[in-house]
Structure formats: C-alpha cells, structure tokens
Structure 1
C-alpha cells in the first residue's frame, strides 16, 4: 500500500518538526514554503528542556544540548545593573533536566530540514487550503501554482496570520496586539565576559545571551503603538537603552543597522476551540501565538509536531488521532498563552511606583534562592513527550531519559 501523504504548509520550526516526526512515523511528507529559501526570519531562540526532550523523539535532542553556552549564573537586572533575581544553569538542570540552550534559528531550521528527503521540501511554492477534507472520508485539497495536491493530512504551519486557520475557523477574531514591539540582533561577543541577563525597566526590557559560536543574541522590547517604526532603528535602540548597564551600550554600538529585526508582538489571546477540522490540523503560531515573555513560542511549536505524530499513526483512525491531538494541546498551550500575557503585563508597567513594587517583589523572591525563581516554569519546562521514539537507527535511550 502507498504511504499516506501529509502536506505541511509552512517551513518554520513547528512545520518542520511535524514534517520530520510524521516522516519518521511512516508518512510521505511534502513541505510547501512560500519563500524562495529556508533562510529563517529571526535571530536566536531559547530551547528549554521541554522542547529538548521533544527533539529526543526524532534524534536531535543531544545535538541541540551540545550547543549550550550558559555555564554559570545569570538572572534579572535593573537598568542600573543591580541584580533583581539570580538563577544558574546548575539549578535549572537539576529542576528541569537541562538548561535553556540558545541557538540561532538558522541552526535549528537547518538541523530539522536535514532530516527530510531533499525532495520533500518545495520552496517558492505558495499554497492555499481549498478543502479541509473529512477525517473519515474525502481527502483534503491544497492549491499551488503547479496544480492541486490531494492529501490525507494537511498541517497548517503558516504562522500567526495563518490563512489555514482562517479557513478552519472563519469566525475567530484572530491575533491581537500585545502592546509592545521587539528588536532582535546577533553581534560579536563584547571584549569583557558577562553573565547572561534580562534587564527590566519602565515598560521595556533587554536580554543579552551567549551563543555557542561566540556571538551574542540580544533582544529588546518596549511599550509602543502598533505599527510605529523609526527611520534609524539603531538610533532608536541607543535612545531607549543606551544608558543602561554594560554590556548593553557596547552591544548596540556593535550592531549593523541593516541587521536589526523589529517586530510588533501579537498573540492569540482568544483561544481556538480546537486545533483541527476534518483532515487539517494546526501547529505553532497559527494555533497558539503567544507573547515571547516566557520564551515558549518555538518550544510549544516543537511539542506540537511531536505530539501530532505520536497520535497520527499512518494506518490509524485519523479522526480519533486529531481529536486526541487537540485534547492534548489546546489546554496546555492555552494556559501558556495566558501565563505569557500575565508576564507581559508586568513588563509593560510604566508607573514609577508600580515598577518599584515589581522590582521589590522580584528581589524578595530571589532571596529565597534560584529554585523559587525557576518555579515560574514548573508545568512548562518539565513537560515530557510521549514515549515513542522515531529517531531512525537510534537504539540508545536519549540522554535526557537516562
């Protein structure tokens, strides 16, 4: 019998994870990407222990762990440099089974794409879902410039402004503005060593994190009207953050102006009733876009792809599989979307008394030790995937499960 065919619309982190996991499970997979190449728009991504364990399922977890650069303390600071809360990689590893690993998105995309047959990925191919199919009967239909493709399963992975989501849930209001904008850069490491940190000010924050290759991934966020842009984003960063503690001014000075990524943040604060209809299913931002304040957007997309393949056996009951996927993922991701929105409200505080109270509470919590600070991620970073392992040729138990 021919392998059932899964079509993935979008080649981001969630789409490629789903494609690899489905391919390992026995599906024929085709990934359709509108862009001319797989060069990802973005800079760095923090992969928490939950997504590292998910990647173990397809044999990539230890490769990602080998890229860990955080080997000491870190935490949260004020713009004047005073520490508000301290954490360390050993405490994170003990509590959750590993530290957060910062990687460039291109590294992760490349690792995932390399696990698929070269013929599975079609770039420069816009795709439109024209028939979602019925899980128990008619196949789904995806239209491309080269003709229609019939599929046993369609995976919508086309991002926060998903056209696939609009077909499945036309009455849903879609994403809303989270109230702040972000900047992301990757620069050479500064001359002096520093502890990884996230610095919180009035309605703004800055993060500085090391990458394994010696470069620095830095990100910033600030309350701003939706759609606002500066003629010179480097000058804007200097205006907003140039007076903050070292190494922030030096990092801004090292930024090439045309390498600054600025994006407004939108989230799906109104949850979807399910992540599937018929033979079509959603993963990643098109299902549960969230503010980056917990660093879980890409991590949850990876979880999605692994859980989907776990339920969707190629010879199984697809209707039951997709219902089980929604039952697993809707409550979990919805809770994380809400929690990220709560942290966003703390970050957006601009009133001096409110900011002072926030900082005092953070500092007080930190005095009880890093465990209390890390408790924020209980129920998130300690998640474990279904036990099936699709890593081809891998007989050895993944390191994280030993």
Structure 2
C-alpha cells in the first residue's frame, strides 16, 4: 500500500461482532491487525442474535459459516401470533431455506464472539485498552492515521471505528452530523432455560408491544421483547417485574420464560437509530462499520447481520497493497445505500409495532391473516435483505496461508 512493501497495519477500535469480523477478514487478506477493546474482556453485552442467510454467507468468506450452521436448532414451523396465542402467519425452516438458500440460526452472542476471536492470532486483541482517534490520516498522502491509548500512540495505515452506537469515532469523522435519535421503543432481552413442553419459534404482536422466542443450543432459549415507551423510562422495581406486568398474561410459554430468569438477567435498552444517513462510511484512512455507521431498530433483526456484511465487504475492497482511497470509496459506495434502506425498513416496522389504537391493531392483524399477507409474510419481509451475497465466496488458500505464516507483528507504539 502507498508503494511500500511492508505489511500494512490496521487498528480496529471495538471488539464487537463487526469489529472482529473485519479483523478476521483483514488478517486473512494479509494485513497486520490490532483490535483495541475498552472493556476488560471479550464477554459481549447482550443475549442472542439471529444470524440470517446473508450474514451466514458473509461468515463463509472467513471460514466461520459452517461452524455457526452446526448450531441451528429451528427445524419445524414458526411464525407470528397474537397475545392470546392465535397464529397470524406461519412459516417454516424449510420455506426459509427454499426462499433464501440458507438457514436462520439463533446463537448466543458470546458463541459468535468466541468463534470470531478464535480465528485471530494471540495478541491481536488488546482488552482493557480504550482508544481515541486523534488523526484520521490522509488516504491519498503519506500521513498515517493515529490512535491514542493508555500505552502510547499507535500509527496505522487503516483505522476502523467499530465502537458501537455511542461511537466516538463517528463524530470525529463527521462532527456536524446529528447522530442517532430515539426510535420510540425500548427492548428487553433474556437467555432462559427451554420451557417445558413443545413450542414453535414465534413473534407475538400486541398493542404497542412485541415478544419473540427463539431456541438456542444447550437447553436454552433467546427471548426478546419491545414496547412503546418514553425515552429513558425504567421499571419502578426491576425489569423482570416490568416484563411480568407487560407480558405475564400473554400466551405460553411467555410467562414461564419470564418466571425462569432472575431480575439481573434481564437486559433493557432504549432503541436509537440513524435516520439521517452518513454521507460516507469513511474519511481519510478511517472507516466506520456496524452500529458506529448505521444503528437501526432491531425490528428486522439485521443490526449484527449488517455489521458482519460490513466487515467482509470492507476487507474485500482493501487488499494489503492496493489503492486505499479507492478501496474505502468502494466500501462506502457498496454499504451506504444498502444499510440506509435497511435502517428505513426497520424504522417502518418499528412504527407498526408501536401502534396502540385497538381498531388500528385489529386492522393490522386482519391484513396479516389475509392470504396475500399471511403465509410467508415473515419471509417476504426479508426479500432483498436475506438473499444478499458477498462479493467473493472465500479468500484464496494462498492468502490464508500467507496470513497464517506472517502471524502478527503489532503496531508501532510511541511512548
């Protein structure tokens, strides 16, 4: 890169799903990579994630896809229900595979983080290392980017801001941008023991509220809920009690799942999204991905999936000694339109979810049960999303072997 023969160095700020995907993909291409994580460990904040066919194909590029597919638990039917338990729309794992060519695999976030981190050499990920972008660098000049850490400054050929919805890198690149705004709903997430008796994976839609239950491996389920609420609201006692108040009378197995978890196992977060898209996902030698670039409502379950896509597409456009400016421009050109569309689609579904008027909710349910809308409704929502394919299938054996032989040299630290 930049007519140098030395192996270029990429610094990733943040070790979430998108940051680690980018680190693995760049390492496989032959970059030296350093991942800087503020937290003391790689234990992710969160519960489960549903990996859709689009992200599974992206994970295939870095050799992780089949490991995740082996964790698939959904083999039968599922769909959308009312709080009383009546089915509004049905679908099946077979129909999903036929439509999109692959599975939907719910996994614990820690499982995915472990799978990604295991593809990186020892020493690549530095936990307990908060980082600040002090210079985004200049891609068309010789000026490298600079990141400040407690151990000193690191110069890099490329910096990736993967530091989440509260990203400090995003406003450093685009200081005039308004940033994320409140989407009008809050969410709860739990991982709980599998309830007694059979159940089908489902999303249940009520008045201004939603509940979802998905099976995980190891005798567990991933359950998530959302409801219209003022920004910053919190339960007067604890969030488990709040779930019981809101969802305790809904159909089985929802009450049993809530009963099975302790109050401190319930995660609650307000939903914010970036309805005003960024003009680009890069500036200078610095790129953004995942929630740092395009936070979205979770109503289509695509936040983590899009972060995975970002990491693979970014690496695709950045061969180690290629034209960095052109590669970053190609990354923005590929990712800004796609993620903007998904952010907006997720916002539309969020607005449907927050409907509380009884007549309007009844009309929504009627539309869902009509033959035109009901069968396959949940799958049709993902047309143009889950059928995405990465720009390449897998990295060449030569690139993989080169990356493994080079190992990791780390960045230059000035004290």
What range is the shorter-chain TM-score in? Answer: over 0.9
3-state SS of paired residue (1:180): strand
Is 1:311–2:320 an aligned residue pair? no
- For residues 25-64 of structure 1, what are the structure 2 equivalents within 5 Å? 25-64=29-68
Equivalent of 1:275 in 281, 287, 290? 281
Is residue 23 from structure 1 mapped to residue 27 from structure 2 by the alignment? Answer: yes
Q: CA deviation at 1:25?
A: 0.4
Unaligned 5+ segments in structure 1 are 396-402
Conserved? CA contact 1:179–1:225, under 8 Å: yes
What is the 5 A alignment of 1:198-347? 198-230=203-235, 231-347=237-353
Structure 1 residues 176-191: aligned runs within 5 Å: 176-191=181-196
Residue 18 of structure 2 aligns with which residue?
Answer: 14
**What CA distance in whole angstroms lies between the structure 1 residues aligned with 2:193 and 2:279?**
44
Contact between 2:274 and 2:343, CA under 8 Å: does it hold in 1? yes
SS in 2 for 1:390: coil
RMSD: 1.3
Q: Deviations over 1:146-189 (max 9, x none)?
A: 11000000000000111000100000000000001111001111
Kept in 2: contact 1:58–1:391 (CA 8 A): no
Match in the other structure for 2:408 = none
Evaluate the alpha carbon distance shift between residue 95 and residue 388 of structure 1 in structure 2; reply closer, same or farther with a 3 A threshold.
closer
Q: In 2, distance between residues paired with 1:328 and 1:373?
A: 26
> What's the secondary structure of 1:119's corresponding residue?
coil
| 2:15 and 2:35 in contact (8 A); partners too | yes
Match of 1:140 in 2: 145
What is the alpha-carbon distance in structure 1 between the residues aligned to residue 397 and residue 250 of structure 2?
48
Quick one: structure 1 residues 318 and 365, their matched pair in 2 at CA, closer, same or farther if it must change by over 3 Å? farther
Deviations 1:181-226 (A, max 9, x none): 1110011111101000000000000001100222011000011111
- Distance in structure 2 (CA, Å) of the matches to 1:394 and 1:20: 12
Partner of residue 91 from structure 1, selected from 95, 107, 111: 95
Q: Which residue of 1 aligns with 2:404?
A: none
Confirm or deny: 8 A CA contact 1:290 1:297 kept in the other structure. Answer: yes
Query: Given the two structures, how large is their TM-score scaled by the length of structure 1?
Result: 0.96
Residue number among 141, 158, 164 corresponding to 1:153 in the alignment: 158
Alpha-carbon distance in structure 2 between the residues aligned to 1:276 and 1:193: 48
TM-score, scaled to structure 2? 0.93
Corresponding position of 2:403: none
Judge conservation of contact 2:30–2:399 (CA < 8 Å) in 1.
no
**Counterpart position of 1:400:** none
Aligned position for 1:69: 73
- The aligned length equals 394
- Report what 1:399 is aligned to: none
CA deviation after TM superposition for structure 1 residue 84, in Å: 0.5
Q: Which moved more, 1:222-231 or 1:69-78?
A: 222-231
Equivalent-residue separation in structure 1 for 2:55 and 2:371 (angstroms): 27
**Structure 1 residue ranges (4+ consecutive) displaced by more than 2 angstroms after TM superposition:** 365-370, 390-395
Per-residue deviation, 1:26: 0.5
Instruction: Give a deviation string over 1:86-138, Cα, whole Å, max 9, x none.
Output: 01000000010122100000000000001001110000001000000000121
